[in-house]
A = this chain, B = another copy of it.
């Protein structure tokens, strides 16, 4: 098979006709497959059955420190849950507040708190003319949705294989006091799979922000979500690096067990310097009496400790890995010979990031949708849903059963080829 770019117009036109005919067949099958979001599969969730044995009528509901977890109180979480999340987030328990079921909600509230009350005594952002966030791209659509909702101006920062373009980050953060934050998924990044290099983390920790209330929004969602034994990415722990650099207050770290136990029924946590947390607690104590301590207790009793959690994540990897390998195999089989598209080979996380030929992503997602395969919207990985190259597509292989995933990927590569041929022929 020739690469598309090496085909004559006639060859490519014939190829396109063939693809259109195959696409019509595919559409005729009336499939309904969803790869839009990074959901765990039913098979992963079934694995957690024992979780529901951890709390039963015969157990003692008191925490290690004697707190009755069934009653009010413990704003920052029970001791052993703080310890578990501290180990997961590689900080000390004093640097942890355990929240409810959603790290996204913590992030939203962290931005909202800054809007309404400022950060550690700074001017509330809602009194400022302009607030800006840096957004490494491609990135996580739900991050961008938060800052967009609050009217915060978002600035694209290109990602490379080591993390965000740090020259650009340092330039913006160091010179513009309106720049108050940067969204980061530093490990197995959503969607690119990149893990930030030590050098990048150190440059983050050593930022000299023009704004006293600038913070790094470090969403370490996939910290223990490896795909391969012995091929785990390593991420330097940023809070320790910030402390070393004399900037202990520079970072908010977010994490949850949504993709460890149950999406929606996990526990989420915020990690930060004790001074940052004191400020959060002053407001949090007005917002709620406390989060769900019984669910904290369930988690602690289920995993025992961080080792238990790591062992558990290996079982998730066993289920997820074949799906990633299938995706990569089909992409390689169908597209590599034709020289269209580029994609990532992540060692963990929930996504494969696919870069289609410039100007074809929307067309591909639309074609897939018509053929019954729902993907994350084209553009979703960019602020304001505007991919300047109309190229990036996030592939989420985890949710569908492997048979459906194969069907979906076959349709996906067919649509990529179709749009690629159309593009080269000047039809789109």
Contact = CB atoms under 8 A, between A and B. Distances in A.
Which interface residue of A262, A264, A265, A292 has the most chain B CB atoms within 10 A? A264
A279 interface: no
A40 B293 CA distance: 15
Interface stretch (A145-153, A215-223, A312-320, A329-337): A145-153
A109 B291 CA distance: 15
A116 B150 contact: yes
A71 interface: yes
A68 B45 contact: yes
B286 A108 contact: yes
Interface in A33-72: 37, 39-40, 42, 45, 48-50, 52-53, 55-57, 59, 61, 68-72
Interface residues of A, number: 56
Interface string A58-95: 01010000001111110000000000000000000000
A418 B289 CA distance: 34
A270 to B, nearest CB: 15
Contacts of A57: 49-50, 52-53
Contacts of A206: none
Given A56-B52, A57-B53, A288-B108, A149 B283 contact: yes
A115 interface: yes
Nearest to A297: B265
A102 interface: yes
A260 B48 CA distance: 28
A264 B112 contact: no
A287 B104 contact: yes
Interface string A126-142: 11000000000000001
A294 interface: yes
A101 B100 contact: yes
A295 interface: yes
A21 interface: no
A108 B285 CA distance: 11
Contacts of A286: 108, 142, 145-146, 149
A385 B117 CA distance: 22
A73 to B, nearest CB: 7
15 contacts: A39-B72, A42-B68, A69-B265, A71-B262, A72-B258, A73-B264, A105-B288, A109-B287, A112-B116, A116-B116, A116-B150, A149-B283, A264-B290, A265-B294, A292-B295
